[in-house]
Structure 1
Amino acid sequence: MIPSADPSPHTAVLIGRFQPWHNGHMALLQAALAQAREVIVVLGSAHQARNPKNPFTWQERAAMVQSALAPAERVRVHCIPVRDHYDEERWVAAVRQGVQALVPAGAAVALVGHFKDHSSSYLQRFPGWTLLSLPRLGAFDGTPLRESYWNFDDAPRSEVLAALAPQVPAPVLDFLQSWMDTPDYDAMREEAAMLRSYHASWASAPYPPVLVTVDAVMLCNGHLLLIERGHAPGKGLWALPGGFVEPRDTLWQACLRELEEETACAVDAAMLAAALQGVRVFDHPDRSLRGRAITHVHVFDLGNRAQLPAVQGGDDAALARWVPLAQVPALETRFFEDHFHVVQSCLEGFCAIRLPV
């Protein structure tokens, strides 16, 4: 095969959360289209439950991207979803796998982006791809855009949309306007206000707090013990039983207390100690919107029993339930924070069980 004389890359890759797609993203995409034949937009934080930082599903974001393009451009732009994983090596591998599935073998790939802050360090994690580092194309930022959208001041809707109009493509503005009439908007706005108040309560601290929590991965007879959260943040989402470590708790005591309070699991401390497989720490800086939260996950395997231990939701849990492991992957988009990935990691690390996702 004769090498192509064309020095431009076959495919340019644009990675982000795009919550929502705004004019800064649009400028980067147009630059990518000018550089390459095809563009792949990697939609991060895919398959997560909605939250104020990630309110839109990957399908909604893909539709935003396509709606902002001319028909001739749409056929050149492909959107792919990628989970966060909260594990950089695993995330990089997932991005590469998704891109390589759409790129001809041996074709040149370029990564398009700009170094905004520490969150841009991923641009250096793809050796073999040409890095097209561009200057910031416009003073656009998703965080203040979302703050405006949540309308904490209860301004007239027309004022909110007028403030957003210069920042997003017209079809995206239409979507945002329509989405304001959905129950999801109301739920995310309420949760955003709760988190804002939560963070304000720490404003007088001499330094940002580090939250210490415990969680339990409890297995029995091919089932996983989950709770449904009864309060914001994450009201109605599935989560592991757990919570904050109290001042006089050890981690073990905190884990036992949270299991009792949230599930009333009919297993005594001695049996739990015998069933403990190990403890794993999850400390990704972005794993919780409440702040820097480091959790210590206790993994228990109660083995095979004739009957699953009785459970009942209490305290912060509206419901406690034993869920068959085969059903857990289907619940991924309804898990709180990073709890799906915590379960996935613990099952692989302690039990040699790999969830099909």
Structure 2
Amino acid sequence: MTAAYDTAIYIGRFEPVHNAHLALLRQALASARQVIVVIGSAWQARSPRNPFTWQERADMLRQALPAAERARLQLLPVRDYYDEPVWAQAVRRGVAALTAPGARIALVGHFKDATSNYLRSFPGWALISLPRQGDIDASTLRDAYFGAATAAPASAAADAPSSADLFADPATDPAATLAAVDAALLPWKEHIPPATLAFLRDFAQKPEYAALQHEWRVLRDYRASWAGAPYPPVFVTVDAVLRCQEHVLVIRRAHAPGKGQLAVPGGFIEQKETLWQSCLRELAEETHCALPEAALRAALRQAHVFDHPERSQRGRTITHAHYFDLGNAPFPAVQADDDALQAQWLPIAALAGMEDQFFEDHFHILDRFLQLTDAAELARGM
């Protein structure tokens, strides 16, 4: 039987891989000689929404297929740009590098909800739209997995750990954790490929699992605190991108969510403040940067709104980032405080290799002002 297309594209995050993913993948394999699986959210720091590296997800996909089908698979990691046209262009660029000019290309997918609108971003590719494949999605599996009734990690209010402690949870018994995970996943076992189940059981015995489970609980409780509001709230935050001598000021977060991850200084606005006032206050509270307001006004180069609906797992959060450039002035002294475990000046040239260490979309906030992603792709040989 001749394949209808040269290449079929299947896009997903696969956090983790489940049988509905495999059903769509098999449709792609039946439609074309070659299948390119675009693995989204590549190079994100681990979080309850993106707990697994793209390499771990790629391995789950490969292990779920027989060798003959595995040989027809190409895996293409693509980062979250939090900008759909830019993301779609990156996908097209990656696909073009893996296909011959003039290839007949089809995109296989399922319109689940508004988050599936990306399927319309590829005019020129045939769209194979399929109905829902089974009664499971990855978020349900993640909630079951991280909601397993294991021994509770330390409170979010505990003292900030050293870097060696960021993924430590000595109070958790490995055997008890594995039993709790098995029990939590049992109702969904028929929806989980054996390779995925084996990976999840193995990962649950690593310290990263305990840290992610703690983050999941913090986020669950955070969202529960406003669940009774008449409408889902929209949070407004500010961030300060401070550049000096080709370095940028970053903090390391002291508490969940994003405990131990890098971020730009910032936080929630207060009721009586303007965005500008909140930006200066958060910068001072988290870094003790003592630059006078007049100096910061003179250094302000740009302000930009970041409003992607999925940019924060805490809820719908819109941030206003202020970009300051101090040129070759002396470095202002900084010292971590408040929600920051550490404050430091990092060379801008080093940031491209640190993408997977940044909280939520903070790497992309920096990219907006400092043009980091081209350097990141060069660093990975892409």
Q: Once the 2 structures are TM-superposed, how far is the Cα of residue 161 of structure 1 from its aligned partner?
A: 3.8
Amino acid at match of 1:246: E
Amino acid at match of 1:14: Y
Q: Once the 2 structures are TM-superposed, how far is the Cα of residue 256 of structure 1 from its aligned partner?
A: 0.7
SS of the equivalent of 1:147 reads helix
Output the CA distance in 1 between the equivalents of 2:182 and 2:43: 32
Output the CA distance in 2 between the equivalents of 1:61 and 1:332: 18
Output the CA distance in 2 between the equivalents of 1:206 and 1:113: 34
Residue of structure 1 in register with 2:45 after alignment: 49
Q: How many residues align structurally?
A: 348
Aligned to 2:333, which of 310, 314, 317? Answer: 310
- 1:270-281 mapped onto 2 (5 Å cutoff): 270-281=294-305
Residue of structure 2 in register with 1:252 after alignment: 276
Amino acid at match of 1:187: A
Query: Is 1:301 equivalent to 2:330 in the alignment?
Result: no
Query: Is 1:286 equivalent to 2:314 in the alignment?
Result: no
Whether the 8 Å CA contact 1:12–1:36 is kept in 2: the answer is yes
Amino acid at match of 1:141: D
Output the CA distance in 2 between the equivalents of 1:157 and 1:89: 39
Whether the 8 Å CA contact 1:191–1:233 is kept in 2: the answer is yes
Residue of structure 2 in register with 1:58 after alignment: 54
Query: Is 1:356 equivalent to 2:375 in the alignment?
Result: yes
Amino acid at match of 1:304: N
Output the CA distance in 2 between the equivalents of 1:193 and 1:129: 41
Whether the 8 Å CA contact 2:148–2:181 is kept in 1: the answer is no
Task: Pick closer, same or farther for the CA change 1:309–1:355 going to 2, 3 Å.
Answer: farther
Amino acid at match of 1:10: D
Output the CA distance in 1 between the equivalents of 2:264 and 2:181: 38
Q: Once the 2 structures are TM-superposed, how far is the Cα of residue 164 of structure 1 from its aligned partner?
A: 3.6
Q: Once the 2 structures are TM-superposed, how far is the Cα of residue 354 of structure 1 from its aligned partner?
A: 6.9
Query: Is 1:337 equivalent to 2:337 in the alignment?
Result: no
Q: Deviations over 1:122-165 (max 9, x none)?
A: 11110110000111121121111111111344473331242342
Q: Once the 2 structures are TM-superposed, how far is the Cα of residue 116 of structure 1 from its aligned partner?
A: 1.0
Residue of structure 2 in register with 1:186 after alignment: 210
Residue of structure 2 in register with 1:325 after alignment: 348
Query: Is 1:197 equivalent to 2:221 in the alignment?
Result: yes
Whether the 8 Å CA contact 2:352–2:373 is kept in 1: the answer is no
Whether the 8 Å CA contact 2:238–2:279 is kept in 1: the answer is yes
Whether the 8 Å CA contact 1:230–1:317 is kept in 2: the answer is yes
Amino acid at match of 2:282: E
Output the CA distance in 2 between the equivalents of 1:203 and 1:153: 22
Q: Deviations over 1:75-98 (max 9, x none)?
A: 101111001100111100001111
Whether the 8 Å CA contact 1:347–1:354 is kept in 2: the answer is no
Residue of structure 1 in register with 2:286 after alignment: 262
Aligned to 2:69, which of 63, 69, 73? Answer: 73
Output the CA distance in 2 between the equivalents of 1:6 and 1:166: 33
Q: Once the 2 structures are TM-superposed, how far is the Cα of residue 212 of structure 1 from its aligned partner?
A: 0.5
Output the CA distance in 1 between the equivalents of 2:80 and 2:182: 35
Q: Once the 2 structures are TM-superposed, how far is the Cα of residue 346 of structure 1 from its aligned partner?
A: 1.8
Amino acid at match of 2:87: W
- 1:68-217 mapped onto 2 (5 Å cutoff): 68-154=64-150, 156-217=180-241
SS of the equivalent of 1:258 reads helix
Whether the 8 Å CA contact 2:288–2:336 is kept in 1: the answer is yes
Output the CA distance in 2 between the equivalents of 1:6 and 1:72: 17
Amino acid at match of 2:135: A
SS of the equivalent of 2:359 reads coil
SS of the equivalent of 1:296 reads strand
TM-score by length of 1: 0.95
Q: Once the 2 structures are TM-superposed, how far is the Cα of residue 7 of structure 1 from its aligned partner?
A: 6.5
Output the CA distance in 2 between the equivalents of 1:281 and 1:157: 40
TM-score by length of 2: 0.89
Task: Pick closer, same or farther for the CA change 1:279–1:322 going to 2, 3 Å.
Answer: same
Aligned identity (percent) is: 55
Q: Structure 2 stretches of 5 or more lacking a match?
A: 151-178, 377-382
SS of the equivalent of 2:302 reads strand
Amino acid at match of 2:273: D
Whether the 8 Å CA contact 2:3–2:31 is kept in 1: the answer is no
Whether the 8 Å CA contact 1:344–1:355 is kept in 2: the answer is no
Q: Deviations over 1:208-243 (max 9, x none)?
A: 111000001100010000000000000000000000
Residue of structure 2 in register with 1:20 after alignment: 16
Q: Once the 2 structures are TM-superposed, how far is the Cα of residue 6 of structure 1 from its aligned partner?
A: 5.2
Whether the 8 Å CA contact 1:18–1:61 is kept in 2: the answer is yes
Output the CA distance in 1 between the equivalents of 2:2 and 2:22: 25
Amino acid at match of 1:313: A
What RMSD over aligned residues (CA atoms) do the two structures have, in Å?
1.4
Output the CA distance in 1 between the equivalents of 2:210 and 2:229: 31
Residue of structure 1 in register with 2:33 after alignment: 37
